[in-house]
Amino acid sequence: MPTVLFVCEGNRARSQMAEGFFNAWAPPGWRGVSGGTRPRESVHPRAVEMMRDVGIDISRQRPKPFDLGVAAKAWRVIAMCTLGACPVDVAEKTEHWDIPDPADVPEARWTEIRDEIASRVKELLAEIRGGT
C-alpha cells in the first residue's frame, strides 16, 4: 500500500492533522502515517478539536516515534518542521513543509496553520491523482 509519512518533532499537532486530512481524502489504497523525532505523550487536545471542527476525528491517534523503516518504504516523506529541529532525510523522497508548530504561536494562528496543512495535503493528493 503506498504510504505518505508526515514527520514533525512532537507528533502531537501538525503531522497528526496532516495524517488525518490525508486519510480522510486519499484515494483507495493509499494511507498516511505520522511520526515524531521526539514524540510527546498525547495528541494536542486543540488539534483534536480543530480537526473535529472540519469533520475529521483524530481523537484515536497517538504520537509515535519516527520510523526509518517506514520512511524508507514510503512513497513520500513530508518533514513539517524546521530543518534544524527535524533532521529527516530519506534521499530524494523527502519534501519539506516549513509549517510552524502551533504550540509556538498564539492560539489565534492555529486555524491558519490547520488550513495551510489542509491545502498542502490537497496539493499532494492532486499530484497523486495526476500520476506524477
Of 4, 5, 7, 8, the active-site residue reads: 8
CA dist., res. 88 & res. 53, Å (int) = 30
- The gap from C-alpha 24 to its chain's centroid, in whole angstroms, comes to 13
Of 71, 74, 86, 121, the active-site residue reads: 86
Instruction: At 31, list the grid cell.
Output: 494511507
Of 81, 99, 113, 117, the active-site residue reads: 81
Q: Is 8 a catalytic residue?
A: yes
Q: Is 81 a catalytic residue?
A: yes
Q: Is 86 a catalytic residue?
A: yes
CA dist., res. 29 & res. 13, Å (int) = 25
What residues contact residue 58 under an 8 Å CB cut-off, 6+ apart?
16, 17, 19, 20, 43, 47, 48, 51
Q: Which residues are catalytic?
A: 8, 81, 86
